[in-house]
Amino acid sequence: MTFKKLVSTALAVSVACTALSADDIKGRGASFPGPVYKAWTADYFAATGKKVNYTPTGSGDGVKSIKKRMVDFAGSDKPLKADKLKKAKLFMFPSVVGSIVLAYNLEGVKDGELKLSRAAVDAIFSGKANFWDDAIITKDNAGLKLPHEPITVAVRADKSGTTFNFTYFLNKINPEFKVSKKPKWKAAKVVAGKSNSGVSANIQQIKNAIGYIEYSYKIKLGLPAAQIENKEGKFINPTVASFQDAAKYATWTAENDFYAVIGDPVGATSYPIVAATFILLPVEKTEMNKEVTAFMDWAYTHGDKAAADLGYVPLPSETKDAIRAYWEAHKIK
């Protein structure tokens, strides 16, 4: 065989290998479900040999990437309304429910010891309260020694579905807060980090910081988090049980592609900052969509324990069945 033929053969093998890797399912977007997607993709590969690559880059990037057809599916914590789905030619359905906690770095204040009323949360993130010993914070924390130190507010630098859901909660407290994936914060000291992991790192590293992150990042890093006053005036610790109590108030229908924002639910035992996260699929990619829904069907069937272990709330069985019917109706199962 001539050298030229050897090179041609080597190139052909290289192209074949590239084609094989191109068959992997590729997704990107929301960092909120990043930990559970990491667990699900690993378990799915172990069970089926099929590889799903998901990169937690943020909801804004996920939506942008799927609109440009750069990936096979996207994750977004901000659900898209029917007109935007239609314009972008996308399908949408939820994957799991999670929660947003207010994690802090306060010397001598342990996990769950800090209580934040709705007014205090508003004051901290709007800049009305700039020191930890502000009266609006101390009035519910008589047993804690809160310092006369400036509050550093840790937020997202990127367009974020976590931010969308947190500002949705803030808007319920104070309508002056604009619901946004990337708002302009008015607090005196603000530090921004990319993705939930970036915000978590800032909270870890900066004394007297507080920020909003998805619960599984709190668990993974051992960060303390506050009790938050819910709609019924009860201070609720972030726990899987309180997330489950909140999630049961979600309403889903296939007619509007399962659009729902759960934040600030009713219920005396409901944790107030919960959110669903969603999968977006391009309408025209029928065969690849079947690969994605096969992965999600496996996750719905086998992934509940992994989700619960990480602090997420699996979807109710009736919701999963409605999603499966949605797939069948659109011929993507």
Q: How far apart are CA 24 and CA 78, in angstroms?
A: 26
pLDDT digits (tens, 9 = 90+) for 61-113: 999 999 999 999 999 999 999 999 999 999 999 999 999 999 999 999 999 99
One fold for both 26-98+249-262+276-329 and 100-247? yes
Where along the chain do its domains lie? 26-98+249-262+276-329, 100-247
12, 131, 153, 162, 230 from 242: Cα distances, Å: 56, 29, 25, 19, 11
Superfamily of domain covering 26-98+249-262+276-329: Periplasmic binding protein-like II (3.40.190.10)
pLDDT digits (tens, 9 = 90+) for 245-291: 999 888 889 999 999 888 899 999 999 999 999 999 999 999 999 99
pLDDT digits (tens, 9 = 90+) for 117-126: 999 999 999 9
Q: What does CATH list as the number for 100-247?
A: 3.40.190.10
What pTM did the predictor assign? Answer: 0.85
78: left (phi over 0), alpha (psi -120 to 50) or beta: beta
**What mean pLDDT comes out for the span 232-248?**
94
- Cβ–Cβ under 8 Å, residues 120 and 130: no
**What mean pLDDT comes out for the span 3-27?**
50
Q: What per-residue confidence (pLDDT) applies to 133?
A: 98
Residue type, 315: L
Assess whether pLDDT exceeds 80 at residue 8: no
